[in-house]
A and B are shown apart, each in its own frame.
Chain A
Amino acid sequence: MDYVYTILILIGLFVILASSFDLVIGHCGLISIAHPIFYAIGAYVSAMLAKEGGMPIPLAMLAGGAAAFAASVLVALPSLRVSGDYLLIASIGFQLGLIEFAKHIHSIGGAGGLTNIPPFLVNTYGRVSYVLLVLAIALLTVLFVRWLTRGPYGRMMAAMRDDELAFSMLGRNAIWVKVSIFAIGSGIAGIAGGLYAHYFRFLEPDQFGLLQSSAILTMVVVGGMRTTLGPVIGAIVLQILPQAITFFGLPPSILGPLQGLMFSGLVLVFMFARPQGLLAAPDIWAGRDSKERRDG
């Protein structure tokens, strides 16, 4: 049963990651694949604050989210001021650089990983309680992204994707919109990191690398960018598929690369065969009040 709970928690965490990443790359049109590094910052900050600082775990998780939020502003602000294309380069550099850096810091476990992270809920209320917590936060994330993107802020993001110059000429601040959305998406990933850390209780820098970037990207692309349920379906499918092929009894030397191939292969197949993903987003932005407006 523990196996099923763990899968459910992983699905919940990846729903949070894919949904928040869709906010950044799909809705806001920001090209970055460094989402896992903000997941990592949330995880490490929360783990260290709870383990070494004795901070209550819920507070530590929030602090992890805040740290990811702050770090993402530091990455996004200078690069977006230069040009939109710089964000991709700057964020990947930040991701890979920070991972290498973390491997050499002994106080956070170095390359061997951070162990003995304090647990949360599981010892007192059982694993089900943690499953419920993660799924509740996943649901909140999905609803928040839907609410934000279907309101006046979503209208701004749609317009900015269409034509940034015309958008600025109306008096709107494109850089501010981009930095805000990048920071919110990254902050949510940071919260997911805290949730990961206090359940699995072990973190190592390498798990937050490009393989995870491609996994999250695949979830969003396969599920369907800019749809509410796309990232959810993508997260479920791509979490279950790698688990499913473990039942074929393949040796680990094949299994590992096969899972990696599956992610990039799926992205390629979908790019050609169904670029809109399993669920297709509508071409025209529709605010949450557009139906009543039309009727009224």
Chain B
Amino acid sequence: MADVLKVSGLNKRFGGIVVADNIDLALAKGRVLGLIGPNGAGKTSFFNLVCGVVKPDSGSITLVGQEINGLPIRERARMGLARTWQNLRLFSSLSVLDNLMLGPRAYSADNLLDVVFRPGHVADSERESRERAFAVLERTGLAGIAHQPIRDITFGQQKLVGVARALMNDAQCLLLDEPMAGVEGQAYALIQKVVRDIAASGVAICVVEHNVAFIRDLCDEGVFMFAGKVLARGTVETLIADPQLTELYFGT
């Protein structure tokens, strides 16, 4: 199976704290990989390294065969890498729809000269994005609150908006940082279904999640991380069943 994202020999330390210790990891097309591990294992740091939020000390990161290590965050996004954030990072002064409208790899107004000299072109592009945004909102069950400000919607809906905004990228690789934390009921089932659907459409997905049930329901495979190291990779059942890993997870 084709590897969409391939990380090799990735290292990063902050002073004495090692957040990535020679990580080798590949994400395959259409598969959902779960990152499991206790707090401080380096799961979110792994996302930050892949996205360019944090620069690695050494190592290589390739997206569909192209080296992206060293590129600015925005370039990686424009090559088809999208993510959500543990603390959401939604645009609080925008509506749900406007949050999504900023998400396509090419934005209507990226070029200010177009805004001033080719207003027709910009208007067409805006219309296209709006249609796509509504399609994504339908898919994520958010169409009814498209015009609501972020602060007026529930936490579960905010989580979904985070995922929906990342979907606007039409990404080849999607990183989801704790998509289920604090979510219950309808939104839970919906996020689960959406993530499965996206994977089925051929996107490589990586999920950081503390909810073991969710990881088991959702992921094709799991990776156990501890102290910046990948300790084991396998089906979620085998990882959970491993007494050594369980001990590391819950501490002694």
Contact = CB atoms under 8 A, between A and B. Distances in A.
Q: Among the interface residues A165, A167, A168, which one has the most CB atoms of the partner chain B within 10 A?
A: A168
B73 interface: yes
A31 interface: no
Contacts of B99: 159
Nearest to B162: A166
Contacts of B112: 153, 180, 184
Interface of B: 51, 53, 72-74, 77-78, 82-83, 85, 89-95, 97-99, 101-110, 112, 115, 122, 126, 130, 147, 149, 165, 168-169
28 contacts: A148-B115, A153-B109, A153-B112, A155-B94, A155-B102, A156-B107, A158-B93, A158-B94, A158-B98, A159-B102, A162-B90, A162-B91, A162-B92, A163-B89, A165-B89, A168-B74, A169-B73, A170-B103, A171-B104, A171-B105, A171-B106, A172-B74, A172-B102, A172-B110, A283-B93, A285-B93, A287-B98, A290-B147
Interface of chain A: mostly helix, strand, loop or mixed:
helix
A285 B95 CA distance: 8
A116 interface: no
A163 B53 CA distance: 13
A169 B51 contact: yes
Interface residues of A, number: 31
A258 to B, nearest CB: 38
A170 B77 contact: yes
Interface of A: 148, 151-153, 155-156, 158-159, 161-163, 165-174, 180, 184, 283-285, 287, 289-290, 293-294
Contacts of A167: 91, 102
B147 A170 contact: no
Contact of B53 (A165, A283, A284): A165
Given A161-B93, A169-B51, A169-B77, 6 more contacts: A151-B109, A156-B109, A159-B94, A162-B90, A171-B106, A171-B107
B88 to A, nearest CB: 9
A61 B3 CA distance: 58
A153 B105 CA distance: 16
A110 to B, nearest CB: 38
B77 A285 contact: no
Contact of B73 (A151, A158, A159, A168): A168
A148 B115 CA distance: 8
